[in-house]
Each structure stands twice: as C-alpha cells, then as structure tokens.
Amino acid sequence: MGNESGDGRIMEEIGGLLVHAKQAQAALDKGLAAQAQQAEAIARLIIHAELVLKQLRAEAEQIGARAQQAGTEAVRDQVRESLSANVGKAAGIAFAPLVNGFTQQIEDARRAASNRSRRAGGEIF
C-alpha cells in the first residue's frame, strides 16, 4: 500500500504541476497576445507618424517656396522702387534743361501777350 499512496501523491503533484503549467501557458498566451496588439498599435503609430512627417515636409516645402516667392517679390519691389527713384532722378536731370527752356518760353510768351494786351489797349483797331 505504501507504493500506492506514493504513486497517488506523485500523481497529485503531477496533476498540480499540469494545472499550474496550463495556467502559466494561458498567462503567457495572454501576455503574447497583448504584446502582439501593442506591436500592431506601434506599427500603426509609426505609419501615422510617417504620414504626418510626409505632410510636414510638403508643408515646409510650400512654406519655403512661398517665402522664396515673397522674398523675390520683396526684392523685386525694392528694385522697382529703386529703379523708379533713380529713373525719376535721371529723368529730372536729363529733362531739366528742356523743362527750363519750356518754362522760359512760356514766360516769354506770357510777357509778349501782356505787352500786346497793353499795346492793344492803347491802340484803336
């Protein structure tokens, strides 16, 4: 009988170990499933981050292009203003004698008209 009780105890221990092994396996499977879900979530986050990064790059390129265009337009406006001012000065310098000549001719014409008016006032036609 000693052998039977020893065998029974061993069988109980084996049964307990099997139950414990099944519980450990279930916990391990649950942990692996949770890790798989986390890995999938991380993969989705990486894909999302790549898309966001791609959008940010595209927006940065657009901002850079707009900034370059704005800079170009600002420079163009500055050049245009500078050229306009310089052309205005140059035109003023170039046409000053001509304008002075016209001004003198207009003044001469006024004097002549004034003189004629005075003479006509004194003369009878």
Q: What is the pLDDT of residues 70-122, one digit of tens each?
A: 877 777 777 777 777 776 677 667 767 766 777 777 777 778 777 777 776 65
Can you give the C-alpha Rg of the chain in angstroms? 51
Q: Mean pLDDT in the chain?
A: 80
Residue 64: half-sphere exposure toward Cβ, Cα within 13 Å: 6
The residue length of the chain stands at 125
Q: What is the pTM of this model?
A: 0.43
Which pLDDT score, from 0 to 100, does residue 124 have?
47
Cα–Cα distance between 105 and 113 in angstroms, integer? Answer: 12
